[in-house]
C-alpha cells in the first residue's frame, strides 16, 4: 500500500535488472518502462563491456508495450541465444544472452520490484459533465477477420483489394488449416513475404507479418491488421563500415534521416560518398553496422524492402537510343506484375512524366535531351514504383549552374511531397535547399552531419572550399572534433536513440469476409436468426460504421467493408483486448508459453505448428522471425521470366533499330566478309580440281569459318559491359538474370543466323558445289551453312562471356583481336595440327577447328590438299561429330556467361 505525506507519494514499480558479466567483473543497470540502456565497448554506453568480440555499440535493452527486449545494433560478431544468432530477443525474467559469441560475455535479465518516491500530484477538481470525448482523429485501422479463406490481390473480386501495380490480380490467400492458418502465394510475380522472407506456402503464428507490395498484414491468431507503407520513411544508418580486403572505404558512419527530408552527402573525391549511398540503399551492404528503414533491418528484409527504395546511379540507366516514353514503358513492363494491363502501365508512365514535367519531351530520344533532362528521366524511372526512399549518386555531375539548381529544386520538391531523398553531390552552391548535410573526410569518416546553416560555423570556415581543404588535410582532427561535439549528440546520438519503431500508414477500411463453407456458414446463420449482426455488418448504432470509400470491393463470397475510426469502441463481437489501438504498429503477441506463442528467443512453443525456429526481431509491438537467406540470393523476379524475356527481346530490337550506325554495321559486315572470299584465286570452288591438289576449297572454308567467328564475337563482346549499369539497377529491382541472358542469346542468334546465311550464300555464289555432299545431297549449301552458323553462335556466346567479365569496353577490343587471330591459327586450315600433341588438344577448344572440320568432311578436303587430318574424314559420322561438339560449345559457353553474370549481382563487392 502506498504511504502518503504532504509532499511525496511512495509507489512500487516493476523494472528490469540487466547484469553483464565482463572480463573486469559485473555491471548492473535497472531499466524502467520506456527507458533504453545501451551495451557496448564504448565508454559512452550505460553498460560497458570490454573485449575484442564486443562492438562499440553492441546492443540495447528497450521497452515497448509487450515488455522489455534486447536488440542487437548491427554488431560485428552478433548476439547469441542458445548458441544461435538473434537480432531481437524478449528480455524475460531469468533469461540471458551472450555477446560476440555463443560463449561470450553473458547478459542476464531479472524482473524486480522497487519502491520510489514521486511528487504528490496536485488535487484537481472534477471535470464538469459534458459530451463524451471524441475519438482521436486522424488514422483509421483495417481489421480483417480470418474466416476459412481470405483472398488478397489487385482484382476487384478479392476479399482484400490492394491498389498497387506491383501486386498481382490474384496474389495470395490466407487459408484455415486443421492446425491453424497458412498463407499461400498464388504464383504472384512480385512475391509474398512472410516476416521479410519470400514464401510460397507458410504456416502462420501470432505476430507474423505478411507483406505484399506496399501492404503489410500482422496476424494476431484470429485477424489480419492491415497497414500501407505509402508515406515518407525514416532512415537510420548506424556504425556503417565498408571493408574490401585490407582497405577501409567507409569507417563508422552513423546518421538519422527523418521522414520527408533531403540529405546532401559531400566531401573530397575518393572519400566514400558513392560507397555510402550503395550501402544505405542495400546495393552493396556494409561490412559492419545496420541500416533501418522505418525501424526494420534493411539488409535482413531487403528482398521485400528493395521495391520501396529508388536508386539513381551516376551513369544513365536507360538506353539513350530510345524515346523517353518508350524507355519508361519498357521499364514499367519489367517492374510491374504480369497481369497489370498495358493501359494501367501506360497511365502510370504518363503520370510520372507529368510529375517531372517531361510530358512535352516524351517523344524525344534520350540522347537528344540535355544533361539535366536525362537525370529527370532517370528519376522518373525510379518513381514508377512509387518508392518512399530515393537515392541519387552525383545527379548534377557535368551540369552547368542553372541546370544544377534546377535538379536540386526538383529534389527539394520531391522531398516536400513525401519522399525521403539523399543525394551525393560535389556542388555546394545549393546546400541551403537541404535539411541535412553529411560531410565525409578522407578515409570515409564523418566530419559533420547536421543542418547546412551550422556547417561553416562548425569548421570556422568562410566558404565550402575551405571546408573541403580541411577535411582533406586534417581528416582525423575533424572526425574527432565532430564526434566529441554537441552537434553529434544532438543530430546523431539522440536521433538514433529516439528513432521510431515501424509505423506504416493505416489503410482506412475494415473487411470482415463471409464464411466460404457450410461449416462456417452455420454459426453465422444461427447468429442471424437470433438477431445478432450478420458477418460483415457493424452492430446497430456502432459509431463510425460507414461504407468504405473505394476500399475492398465485395467479393463473390460476400465480403463487406466498413470503416472503424481510430479510438472508436470495438464492435460488440470484440473484447477490449481484441480492439485495434488507435495507432498500432502490429497486432498483440500471444503470451509467452501459450500455444503457438513465440518464446523468448522468438521461436514457437513446441506443438504450435509452423517453422518458427529463427531469431526474432521487432515490428512495432510484435516479434517477427527473420529470414536466413543472404542478401545476394534475394534478387527475385517482379514479372515472370518469360514476360521479362519477351520484353527484353523487344527492347533490344528497338535499340538496335534506333541506332543507324549499328544497323548499317550489322548489315554491312557480312557483305564485306563475302567480298573478301572473292579474293581467293581459283575456278574449282568446293569441287576437286583437275590436278591432284587444289587449295581453293581449303581457303574458302578457312575464310568462312574465321569470318563467322568474327561475326559472332564482334556482335556480342561489348553488349553486357555496355549495359552493366542498366543491368545492375534492373537486377536490383527483380530482373531475372536468366531472362536477360536468354534475350541476348535469342536476339543475337536471330541476327547472326541471318548474317551467316547471307555471308555463306554470297561467298559461294557461282562456285562449284562439293562433289559428294554427305547429308543434304540436293542442298549442299545448307550443309555448309550449318557449321558456319554454329561457329558464329559459339563465338557469340564466347563474346557474351568476355563481356560479362570485362570491367570496361576498352578491355574488350584487344580480346577481340587475340581471339579472332587464335581462331584463325588453330582452325587447322593454315598448317597441319595432326601429331602436335599439345597444340592439337588446345585447338579442340576453338569453334573454328570444328566448323572447318565439318566443312572439310563435306567437300572431302583430304583428297585436295597435301596433308591429312583425322577430323576431316569424309563420313557422316565425322560431320555429325563436329556439329554436335559445336552445339556443346554453344551451350557450355552460354552457361559460363550466366555464371559470369554473378559478378554483377546486387551485394557483390
- Where are the alpha helices (H) located in 806-875, listed in sequence order? 812-825, 837-843, 847-859
Tell me which range, 9-18, 45-54, 397-406, is most confidently predicted by mean pLDDT.
45-54
Are residues 222 and 305 located together in one domain of the fold? no
Q: For residue 500, what pLDDT band results from cuts at 50, 70 and 90?
A: low
Average pLDDT over residues 272-280: 90
Residue 386 confidence (pLDDT) above 70: yes
Which grid cell is 533? 449482426
Are residues 114 and 162 located together in one domain of the fold? no
Q: Please identify which residue in the block is written with the cell numbers 534492373.
A: 730
Please tell me which residue, 655 or 395, carries the higher pLDDT value.
655
pLDDT in the model for residue 692 = 63
Residue 284 confidence (pLDDT) above 90: no
Least confident of 245-254, 465-474, 528-537, 645-654: 528-537
Distance between CA atoms of residues 354 and 368, nearest Å? 19
Mean pLDDT of the chain: 78
Residues 6+ apart with CB under 8 A from 544: 135, 538, 563, 564, 565, 568
Are residues 734 and 824 located together in one domain of the fold? yes
Residue 610 confidence (pLDDT) above 70: no
Please name which of 236, 303, 248, 239 lies closest in space to residue 77, comparing C-alpha atoms: 239
Distance between CA atoms of residues 445 and 480, nearest Å? 10
Please tell me which residue, 98 or 567, carries the higher pLDDT value.
98
Count of the separate structural domains present in the chain? 4
Sequence length of the chain is 909
Please name which of 819, 791, 793, 792 lies closest in space to residue 805, comparing C-alpha atoms: 819
Q: Convert the pLDDT of each residue in 613-632 to its tens digit.
A: 333 333 332 333 323 333 33
Q: Convert the pLDDT of each residue in 771-826 to its tens digit.
A: 888 888 788 889 999 999 999 999 999 999 999 999 998 999 999 999 999 999 88
Are residues 274 and 359 located together in one domain of the fold? yes
Least confident of 339-353, 378-392, 825-839: 825-839
Residues 6+ apart with CB under 8 A from 721: 803, 804, 806, 807, 808, 809, 811, 812
Q: For residue 592, what pLDDT band results from cuts at 50, 70 and 90?
A: very low
Look at residue 139 and give its three-state secondary structure.
coil
Inside any domain, residue 246? no
pTM of the entire structure? 0.65
Q: Do residues 180 and 610 lie in contact, with contact meaning Cβ atoms separated by under 8 Å?
A: yes
pLDDT in the model for residue 178 = 85
Percent of the chain residues past pLDDT 90, beyond the cut: 27
* The three-state (H, E, C) secondary structure of 667-680, written as one string: HHHHHHHHHHHCCC
Q: Do residues 241 and 234 lie in contact, with contact meaning Cβ atoms separated by under 8 Å?
A: no
Inside any domain, residue 399? yes
Sign of CA dihedral 724, 904, 711, 787: negative
Q: Do residues 17 and 35 lie in contact, with contact meaning Cβ atoms separated by under 8 Å?
A: no
Alpha-carbon distance values, 368 to 53, 320, 371, 654, 731 (Å)? 56, 8, 9, 17, 27
pLDDT in the model for residue 183 = 92
CATH code, domain with 410: 3.40.50.300
Look at residue 391 and give its three-state secondary structure.
strand
Q: Convert the pLDDT of each residue in 549-560 to its tens digit.
A: 333 333 333 333
Q: For residue 118, what pLDDT band results from cuts at 50, 70 and 90?
A: low
pLDDT in the model for residue 126 = 40
Residues 6+ apart with CB under 8 A from 711: 669, 670, 673, 752, 755, 756, 759, 792, 795
Are residues 377 and 347 located together in one domain of the fold? yes
Q: Convert the pLDDT of each residue in 707-717 to its tens digit.
A: 999 999 999 99
Average pLDDT over residues 372-398: 86
The DSSP bridge pattern shows strands 288-293 and 235-244 to be antiparallel
Inside any domain, residue 254? no
Average pLDDT over residues 657-667: 90
Are residues 463 and 508 located together in one domain of the fold? no
Sign of CA dihedral 279, 280, 285, 290: positive
- Where are the alpha helices (H) located in 604-640, listed in sequence order? none
Distance between CA atoms of residues 214 and 166, nearest Å? 9
Alpha-carbon distance values, 166 to 140, 765, 863 (Å)? 24, 55, 66
- In 258-320, at which residue ranges do the beta strands (DSSP E only) sit? 262-266, 288-293, 296-297, 309-312
Q: Convert the pLDDT of each residue in 828-853 to its tens digit.
A: 888 888 777 788 889 899 999 999 99
Inside any domain, residue 721? yes
Which grid cell is 364? 524525344
Percent of the chain residues past pLDDT 70, beyond the cut: 78
pLDDT in the model for residue 596 = 38
Domain with 147 in it: 138-230+504-521+549-568+581-596
Inside any domain, residue 215? yes
Least confident of 1-15, 77-91, 777-791, 885-899: 1-15
Inside any domain, residue 391? yes
Q: For residue 139, what pLDDT band results from cuts at 50, 70 and 90?
A: very low
Distance between CA atoms of residues 808 and 725, nearest Å? 11
Distance between CA atoms of residues 334 and 640, nearest Å? 9
Please list the helix, strand and coil fractions of the chain in percent, rounded to the nearest 5, in that order: 35, 20, 40
Distance between CA atoms of residues 562 and 539, nearest Å? 11
Distance between CA atoms of residues 213 and 163, nearest Å? 9
Please tell me which residue, 581 or 848, carries the higher pLDDT value.
848
Are residues 454 and 508 located together in one domain of the fold? no
Choose one of 67, 85, 119: the last residue of a domain: 119
Inside any domain, residue 70? yes
Inside any domain, residue 591? yes
Tell me which range, 5-14, 228-237, 489-498, 643-652, is most confidently predicted by mean pLDDT.
643-652
Are residues 493 and 508 located together in one domain of the fold? no
CATH code, domain with 173: 2.60.200.20
Q: Convert the pLDDT of each residue in 202-232 to its tens digit.
A: 998 888 888 888 788 888 877 788 877 655 5
Are residues 87 and 159 located together in one domain of the fold? no
Are residues 62 and 196 located together in one domain of the fold? no
Please tell me which residue, 539 or 417, carries the higher pLDDT value.
417
Measured from the Cβ of residue 273, the count of other Cβ atoms closer than 10 Å reads 24
Q: Convert the pLDDT of each residue in 459-474 to its tens digit.
A: 988 888 888 888 988 9
Least confident of 399-403, 728-732, 826-830: 399-403
- Phi/psi for 57 (5° steps) reads -120, 100
Are residues 510 and 493 located together in one domain of the fold? no
Distance between CA atoms of residues 856 and 828, nearest Å? 10
Q: Do residues 583 and 506 lie in contact, with contact meaning Cβ atoms separated by under 8 Å?
A: yes
pLDDT in the model for residue 18 = 92
Are residues 725 and 867 located together in one domain of the fold? yes
Burial label, 127 (beta-carbon count in 10 A; 0-12, 13-18, 19+): exposed
Amino acid at each position: 500500500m502506498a504511504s502518503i505525506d504532504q509532499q511525496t507519494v511512495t509507489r512500487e514499480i516493476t523494472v528490469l535488472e540487466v547484469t553483464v558479466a565482463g572480463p573486469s567483473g559485473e555491471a548492473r543497470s535497472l531499466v524502467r518502462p520506456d527507458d533504453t540502456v545501451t551495451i557496448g565497448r564504448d565508454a559512452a554506453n550505460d553498460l560497458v563491456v570490454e573485449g575484442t568480440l564486443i562492438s562499440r555499440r553492441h546492443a540495447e535493452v528497450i521497452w515497448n508495450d509487450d515488455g522489455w527486449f534486447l536488440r542487437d545494433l548491427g554488431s560485428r560478431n552478433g548476439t547469441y541465444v542458445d548458441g544461435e544468432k538473434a537480432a531481437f530477443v524478449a528480455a524475460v525474467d531469468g533469461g540471458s544472452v551472450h555477446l560476440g559469441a555463443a560463449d561470450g560475455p553473458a547478459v542476464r535479465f531479472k524482473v524486480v520490484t522497487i519502491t520510489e518516491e514521486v511528487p504528490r500530484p496536485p488535487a484537481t477538481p472534477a471535470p464538469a459533465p459534458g459530451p463524451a470525448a471524441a475519438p482521436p482523429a486522424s488514422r483509421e485501422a483495417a481489421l480483417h477477420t480470418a474466416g476459412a479463406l481470405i483472398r488478397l490481390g489487385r482484382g476487384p473480386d478479392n476479399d482484400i483489394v490492394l491498389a498497387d501495380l506491383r501486386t498481382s490480380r490474384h496474389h495470395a490467400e490466407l487459408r484455415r488449416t486443421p492446425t491453424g492458418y497458412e498463407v499461400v502465394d498464388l504464383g504472384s510475380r512480385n512475391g509474398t513475404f512472410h516476416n521479410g522472407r519470400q514464401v510460397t506456402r507458410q504456416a502462420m503464428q501470432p505476430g507474423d507479418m505478411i507483406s505484399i507490395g506496399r501492404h503489410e498484414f500482422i496476424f494476431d491468431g484470429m485477424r489480419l491488421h492491415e497497414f500501407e507503407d505509402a508515406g515518407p520513411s525514416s532512415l537510420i544508418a548506424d556504425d556503417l563500415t565498408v571493408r574490401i580486403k585490407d582497405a577501409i572505404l567507409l569507417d563508422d558512419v552513423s546518421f538519422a534521416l527523418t521522414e520527408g527530408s533531403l540529405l546532401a552527402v559531400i566531401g573530397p573525391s575518393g572519400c566514400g560518398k558513392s560507397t555510402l549511398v550503395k550501402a544505405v540503399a542495400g546495393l552493396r551492404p556494409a561490412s559492419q553496422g545496420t541500416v533501418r528503414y522505418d525501424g526494420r533491418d534493411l539488409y535482413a528484409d531487403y528482398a521485400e524492402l528493395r521495391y520501396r527504395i529508388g536508386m539513381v546511379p551516376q551513369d544513365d540507366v536507360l538506353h539513350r537510343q530510345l524515346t523517353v516514353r518508350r524507355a519508361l514503358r519498357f521499364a514499367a513492363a519489367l517492374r510491374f506484375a504480369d497481369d497489370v494491363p498495358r493501359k494501367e502501365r501506360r497511365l502510370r508512365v504518363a503520370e510520372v512524366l507529368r510529375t517531372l514535367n517531361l510530358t512535352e519531351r516524351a517523344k524525344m530520344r534520350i540522347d537528344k535531351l540535355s544533361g539535366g533532362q536525362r537525370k529527370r528521366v532517370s528519376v522518373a524511372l525510379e518513381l514508377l514504383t512509387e518508392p518512399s526512399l530515393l537515392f541519387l549518386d552525383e545527379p548534377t555531375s557535368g551540369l552547368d549552374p542553372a541546370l544544377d539548381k534546377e535538379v536540386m529544386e526538383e529534389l527539394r520538391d520531391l522531398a516536400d511531397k513525401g519522399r525521403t531523398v539523399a543525394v551525393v553531390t560535389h556542388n555546394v552552391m545549393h546546400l541551403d535547399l537541404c535539411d541535412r548535410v553529411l560531410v565525409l573526410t578522407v578515409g570515409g569518416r564523418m566530419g559533420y552531419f547536421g543542418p547546412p546553416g551550422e556547417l561553416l560555423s562548425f569548421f570556422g570556415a568562410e566558404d565550402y572550399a575551405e571546408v573541403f581543404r580541411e577535411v582533406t588535410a586534417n581528416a582525423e582532427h575533424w572526425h574527432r572534433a565532430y564526434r566529441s561535439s554537441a552537434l553529434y549528440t544532438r543530430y546523431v546520438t539522440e536521433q538514433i536513440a529516439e528513432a521510431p519503431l515501424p509505423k506504416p500508414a493505416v489503410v482506412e477500411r475494415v473487411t470482415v469476409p463471409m464464411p466460404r463453407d457450410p461449416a462456417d456458414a452455420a454459426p453465422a446463420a444461427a447468429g442471424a436468426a437470433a438477431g445478432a449482426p450478420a458477418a460483415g455488418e457493424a452492430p446497430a448504432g456502432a459509431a463510425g460504421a460507414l461504407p468504405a470509400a473505394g476500399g475492398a470491393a465485395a467479393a463473390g463470397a460476400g465480403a463487406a467493408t466498413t470503416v472503424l475510426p481510430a479510438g472508436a469502441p470495438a464492435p460488440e463481437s470484440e473484447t477490449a483486448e481484441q480492439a485495434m489501438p488507435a495507432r498500432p504498429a502490429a497486432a498483440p503477441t500471444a503470451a509467452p508459453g501459450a500455444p503457438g506463442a513465440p518464446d523468448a528467443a522468438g521461436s514457437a512453443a513446441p506443438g504450435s505448428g509452423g517453422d518458427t525456429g529463427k531469431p526474432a526481431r521487432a515490428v512495432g509491438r510484435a516479434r517477427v522471425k527473420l529470414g536466413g537467406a543472404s542478401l545476394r540470393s534475394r534478387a527475385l523476379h517482379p514479372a515472370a521470366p518469360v514476360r521479362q524475356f519477351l520484353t527484353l527481346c523487344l527492347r533490344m530490337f528497338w535499340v538496335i533499330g534506333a541506332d543507324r550506325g549499328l544497323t548499317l554495321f550489322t548489315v554491312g559486315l557480312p557483305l564485306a566478309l563475302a567480298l573478301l572470299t572473292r579474293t581467293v584465286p581459283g575456278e574449282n570452288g568446293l569441287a576437286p580440281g583437275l590436278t591432284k591438289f587444289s587449295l581453293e576449297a581449303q581457303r574458302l572454308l578457312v575464310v568462312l569459318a574465321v569470318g563467322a567467328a568474327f561475326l559472332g564475337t564482334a556482335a556480342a563482346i561489348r553488349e553486357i559491359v555496355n549495359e552493366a549499369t542498366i543491368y545492375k539497377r534492373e537486377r536490383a529491382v527483380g530482373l531475372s538474370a536468366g531472362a536477360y541472358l536468354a534475350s541476348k542469346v535469342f536476339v543475337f542468334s536471330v541476327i547472326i543466323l541471318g548474317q551467316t546465311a547471307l555471308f555463306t550464300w554470297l561467298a559461294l555464289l557461282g562456285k562449284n558445289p562439293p562433289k559428294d555432299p554427305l547429308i543434304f545431297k540436293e542442298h549442299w549449301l545448307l550443309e555448309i551453312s550449318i557449321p558456319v552458323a554454329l561457329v558464329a553462335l559459339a563465338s557469340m556466346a564466347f563474346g557474351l562471356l568476355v563481356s560479362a567479365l570485362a570491367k570496361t569496353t576498352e578491355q574488350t577490343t584487344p580480346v577481340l583481336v587475340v581471339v579472332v587471330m587464335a581462331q584463325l591459327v588453330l582452325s587447322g586450315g593454315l598448317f597441319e595440327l595432326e601429331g602436335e600433341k599439345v597444340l592439337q588438344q588446345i585447338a579442340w577448344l576453338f569453334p573454328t577447328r570444328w566448323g572447318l572440320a565439318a566443312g572439310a568432311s563435306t567437300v572431302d578436303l583430304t583428297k585436295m590438299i597435301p596433308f591429312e587430318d583425322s577430323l576431316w574424314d569424309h563420313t557422316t559420322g565425322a560431320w555429325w561429330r563436329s556439329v554436335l561438339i559445336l552445339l556443346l560449345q554453344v551451350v557450355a559457353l552460354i552457361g559460363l556467361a550466366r555464371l559470369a553474370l554473378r559478378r554483377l549481382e546486387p551485394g557483390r563487392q
